[in-house]
Amino acid sequence: MITCLQVALNSNLYYGKLMSKVALSIGTNCGSRIKNIFAMESMLSSVLGPPLMFSSLMETSAVDVQEAQTPYLNRIITGVYNGSPYQLLCECEEIELSLGRRHKGLKKPRTADIDILIYDEVIISSDKLTIPHPAVFGRRFCLEGLNQIGADWIVPMTGKTIGESFLLIDSDVKRQEIIFLTETTTVN
């Protein structure tokens, strides 16, 4: 028997509202990284609608930075959102600020970093927002995490699924080191 909620979720309707499927990356390399990840997850769970999916927790080195940085903890989250991509961006930036982020886009260490990777089939290229996010193909953890929880999602502009894109990962991106963390791994 199919419930109304299942029909609603399958059609991107939730509580009678049209919802957009979104994929976000979250990351941190300052302070108590695990507490920052859990805080971002908690705050995002009140922004995104179900079903929420979480990739493995991954530790990665900072990429394309001038100075050495503490490794990042990263995770990919998918869910649904009722609002525009720019509204979601504002909510993500508010969460970052509430967790102590002070610099945006400077490749500096940060307590909270939330990026909109995919927003349904939307394509945006503006000074403020780019969707799909360039990190989808430039950061291994993004494709790894998306492949875990959304392998069948279509990447706008490419027409390929995440799973297909994962198989075609660029060799330089493939060399980016990832440590997949388990529930028993101790991190700060």
* pLDDT at residue 102, rounded to an integer: 81
Residue range 81-94: mean pLDDT, rounded: 96
Are 140 and 179 a contacting pair, CB within 8 Å? no
Closest CA to 46 of 13, 7, 77: 77
pLDDT above 70 (res 28): yes
Out of 8-17, 105-114, 153-162, which region has the weakest mean confidence (pLDDT)?
A: 8-17
Residue 96 lies inside a defined structural domain of this protein: yes
Q: Which domain holds residue 177?
A: 4-181
CATH number at residue 167: 3.30.70.560
Of residues 184 and 62, more confidence is placed in 62
**Structure token digits, residue 34:** 């695990």
Give 88-130 pLDDT, tens digit per residue: 999 999 999 999 998 776 778 999 999 999 999 999 999 999 9
CA 63 – CA 10 distance, rounded (Å): 36
pLDDT digits (tens, 9 = 90+) for 29-52: 999 999 999 999 999 999 999 999
Task: Return the amino acid letter for 107.
Answer: K
In a domain, 129, yes or no: yes
Residue 188 maps to a domain: no
d(CA 94, CA 101): 9
Block residue for tokens 């525009």? 84
Task: Give percent helix, percent strand, percent coil of the chain, each to the nearest 5.
Answer: 30, 25, 40
Average pLDDT along the chain:
89
- The single-letter DSSP state of residue 181 is E
- The contacts of residue 16 (CB under 8 Å, 6+ apart) are 8
Q: Among all chains, which residue has been given the structure tokens 């909620």?
A: 5
Provide the pLDDT for residue 67.
Answer: 84
Assess if residue 145 is contained within a domain.
yes
Question: What's the total number of domains in the chain?
Answer: 1
Token pair 């260490």 is at which residue? 109
Residue 76 domain-assigned (yes or no): yes
Q: What pLDDT does 103 receive? A: 76
Percent of the chain with pLDDT over 70: 88
**Residue 70 domain-assigned?**
yes
Residue 187: the pLDDT is: 73
